[in-house]
Structure 1
Amino acid sequence: MVASCVGFVLIGALQALYGPSIPAFREEFGLSPSAAGLGLSAHFVGGVAGVLLFDRLFGRIGNRRILGSSYALMAVGAAGFAAAPNWPAALAAALLAGLGFGGIDYGLNQLFAVGFGRRSTAMLNILNAHFGVGAILGPALIGAVGSAHYPAVFVGFALANLPLLLCLRGVRDRAPQPGGAAPESGGRPLGRSLGSVLAVFVTLYVLHVGIEAGVGGWEPTHLETVGYGAGVAATATSVYWLMMTVGRFLVAPLALRFSARSIIAVSCTGMTACLLLAAVPGLAPYAYAGVGLFIAPIFPTGLPWLHRAAPSARRAGAVVIAASMAGGVAAGPALGKAIEWSGVRTVPLLLCGVSALCLAATLWMIRATRPVPVSG
């Protein structure tokens, strides 16, 4: 368990290392801003491919091999990115590192979702909170050593993966059956078709990750537009990511007392209200921090709910995790186009509308996953 949490610190750090290193990429390889941004895009493409690939292998080659291969791929990819002689080679290495990233993200989330019974929601929130710890530490490390020294940081990150290969003996080679957690439907047929439930789960994950990425990407610009200084805007954005991490740690004990559906419903309601308040300039920095707090539990809490609502759909977890990554990739262009039409000041209102759709999807799923009344 400790090694798994360390693994999530590392994948959080890897994802966050690309952005602060962009100035050095551009200088070293002579890149435009859009070309430099392809590093993170290649990472996400590899991540989606890693989720789908390792889902196909899940249950066939054993969980230890899946996780071990993922750690090794991420280490080789990170080292290759540091040593790449040109930008195409660097993109290929980022793709390889992303492949390992996706395998770890999928593999550990899947095992935690089914391996802890009724404690799965709490354990998944703790696991994913460590992703946030890595996402905070990665940029801080680049800031401390300077972006020009990003190759050394990537090499150090690659080496940090290797000891985790020695900690896989505690992983079962086959996933335990999710029998320790009673199905949300009480073991009876769901009130809606399985396909509809999965489609709405995917919609929730795509939309909420779009909000997560949208706030992280556009909060500084919005705050500066409404009158805050660049330093305040940057600090407020850091607080937003910090609150996401804090929120997952705070929800872990609550998940032992309240159902996943209740936690997600409250999260979507609070997220929608905070985004509405963020449209008020004087409240915006504090409201964005509230968004981070409320959005934090949705990703890790939804997975156990999905497994209990649809225990027969083994690949459902892979679909929603891959969809969440796709949502992060699509959020930037989609939100950017909407902002071109309506202006930067409307960012919180645009995201509030998306959050309202998340709330509607959650309420639909609560109704859909109730047991069907059985006549006498």
Structure 2
Amino acid sequence: MTVTSAPPHPRIFSPAAVVASCVGFVLIGALQALYGPSIPAFREEFGLSPSAAGLGLSAHFVGGVAGVLLFDRLHGGGRVGNRRILGTSYLLMALGAAGFALAPNWPAALATALLAGLGFGGIDYGLNQLFAVGFGHRSTAMLNILNAHFGIGAILGPALIGAVGSAHYPAVFLGFALANLPLLLCLRGVRDRVPQSFGTTPQTSMTSMEASAMTPTESATERSTERSTDTYGGQVLARSLGSVLAVFVALYVLHVGIEAGVGGWEPTHLETVGYGAGAAATATSVYWLMMTVGRFLVAPIALRFSAQAIITVSCAGMTVCLLLATVPALAPYAYAGVGLFIAPIFPTGLPWLNRAAPRARRAGAVVIAASMVGGVVAGPALGKAIEWSGIRAVPLLLSGISALCLAATLWLIRSTRTR
């Protein structure tokens, strides 16, 4: 008897392409973070109100959501390969950033921010999806490393604006646009097509010897049972899959809402409970730094523990830290803990989703788009709640949302358990 081993999975990324992908995530992290520190210059140059100046980031996020959904549709239909998606996204991001730097008026600036957001969404979608299936059991670890580089960019972007001054933001955006172009040369190291079975769990089937050993009656009964299972079980599977996807989306929207909520309201809360403006700003920077550090730290942990266990601990730790943030003396340290615990949720959830719903092709795109929507909605929604309850209630409000994340995680663990 000849025994043949299964062929190895083809490699999706060359080493150079992995490095280029991490650099790409540094760039999208920096792009998202460049708008806020540049607002004073926007307002002076174009004569904008604070709310009008804030539309720059909103246009970027709207473009990001559109980019995720557009490139997912093109990619899913088989019309566009991985290299073209990533290459087009880098070019759109470069053109949008350059256009934003050179825009003669605010409407033109918003249009180019939307264009840059389209490229941002394509890179976010494309690389997260490929990393989720491209490294086997190491995918969770690699996704955390990839998304940690997003945090590096988010830290470096504002630091760069601070170093040159917000009045020179056009030069920073132009430099950012040029930095995208060398990454196009590394796309040759990305596999253009990924096999459909990549990252999915193989299904067991009856062997020909087992089938031939069955009697005609047993065979007919088996076929009837299979048809019945396909009809009824398929309906149950469809309902179950819809519920799983809905809860995954809720988890992503809620946890990104917490991420944006802490980043946006931590300085105000700390100043309200007695900290100076400088200390509050420093503590917020530490929060973002801890989010980046947390993703690097969890990479080796992800090789030993399941995504479910990591996300459960993350949600529980995040909830405890937010409750501790209600104590003024502990608040800065507690917020740093929130950054550490929230860090793994986004990248660790994608491989889990890929395993739980391997046939739901658009699941990854939906939750990535949902995460961006969570960032957009979090500001106004949390602002309304704070108007009603007061600034001091910020950590309590966020801890309630974090508890919902924990409940969603526990439900998903029970619902996606292998039958």
Deviation at 1:175, TM superposition (A): 2.2
Q: Give 1:169's aligned residue.
A: 188
C-alpha separation in 2, matches of 1:243 and 1:176: 36
Listed as ranges, the matches of 1:32-71 within 5 Å are 32-58=49-75, 59-71=78-90
Q: Residue in 1 aligned with 2:42? A: 25
Counterpart CA distance in 2 for 1:48 and 1:250 is 29
Q: Does 1:232 align with 2:279?
A: yes
| Structure 1: runs of 5 or more not aligned | none
Q: What code does the residue aligned with 2:36 have?
A: G
Counterpart residue number, 1:293 = 340
1:45 is paired with a residue whose SS is helix
Deviations along 1:167-205, whole A, 9 cap, x unmatched?
00011111244545648x999x99871000000000000
Bigger radius of gyration among the two = 2
Aligned partner (choices 324, 339, 343) of residue 390 of structure 2: 343
State the 1:51 CA deviation: 0.1
The alpha carbon displacement at 1:90 in A equals 0.1
The residue identity in structure 2 corresponding to 1:269 is A
Residue number in structure 2 paired with 1:104: 123
1:4 aligns with 2:21: yes
* Contact persistence 1:50–1:99 (CA under 8 A): yes
State the distance in 1 between where 2:344 and 2:96 align: 30
SS at match of 1:175: coil
1:61, distance to aligned residue in structure 2 (A): 1.2
**What one-letter code is carried by the residue in structure 2 that aligns with 1:234?**
A
- Residue 197 of structure 1: aligned partner: 244
CA-to-aligned-CA distance 1:65-91 (integer Å, 9 cap, x gap) = 000000000000000000000000000
1:280 match: 327
- Counterpart in the other structure of 1:366: 413
- The answer to whether the aligner puts 1:147 opposite 2:166 as a matched pair is yes
What amino acid is aligned across from residue 28 of structure 1 in structure 2? E
Contact 1:20–1:142 at 8 Å: present in 2 too? yes
For the Cα contact (< 8 Å) 1:115–1:178, is it kept in 2? no
TM-score (norm 1): 0.96
| Aligned equivalent of 1:116, options 108, 122, 135 | 135
AA aligned to 1:157 is: F
Give per-residue Cα distances to partners, 1:94-139, cap 9 Å, x unaligned. 0000000000000000000011111110000000000000000000
**Residues 320-350 of structure 1: CA distance to partner in whole angstroms, max 9, x if unpaired?**
0000000000000000000000000000000
CA contact (8 A) 1:114 1:175 kept: no
On the 8 A contact 2:87/2:184 being kept in 1, the answer is yes
Name segments (4+ residues, structure 1) moved above 2 Å.
175-183, 189-192
Q: Identity over the aligned pairs, expressed in percent?
A: 88
Q: 1:138 to 1:63 in 2, by over 3 A?
A: same
DSSP 3-state at the match of 2:386? helix
- Please list every run of 5 or more consecutive structure 2 residues that lacks an aligned counterpart in the other structure: 1-17, 206-232
The residue type paired with residue 121 of structure 1 is: T
CA distance in 1, matches of 2:240, 2:179: 45
1:26-64 CA-partner distances (Å, limit 9, x unpaired): 000000000000000000000000000000011321110
**Counterparts of 1:314 and 1:130 in 2: how far apart (Å)?**
26
Contact 1:186 1:371 in 2 (8 A): no
User: Which secondary structure state, in structure 1, belongs to the residue aligned with residue 189 of structure 2?
Assistant: coil
Look up the equivalent residue of 2:193 and give its one-letter code: R
Matched residue type, 1:85: P
* 1:130 maps onto 2:130 in alignment: no
Aligned alpha-carbon RMSD (Å): 1.7
In structure 2, how many angstroms separate the alpha carbons of the residues matched to 1:236 and 1:346?
18
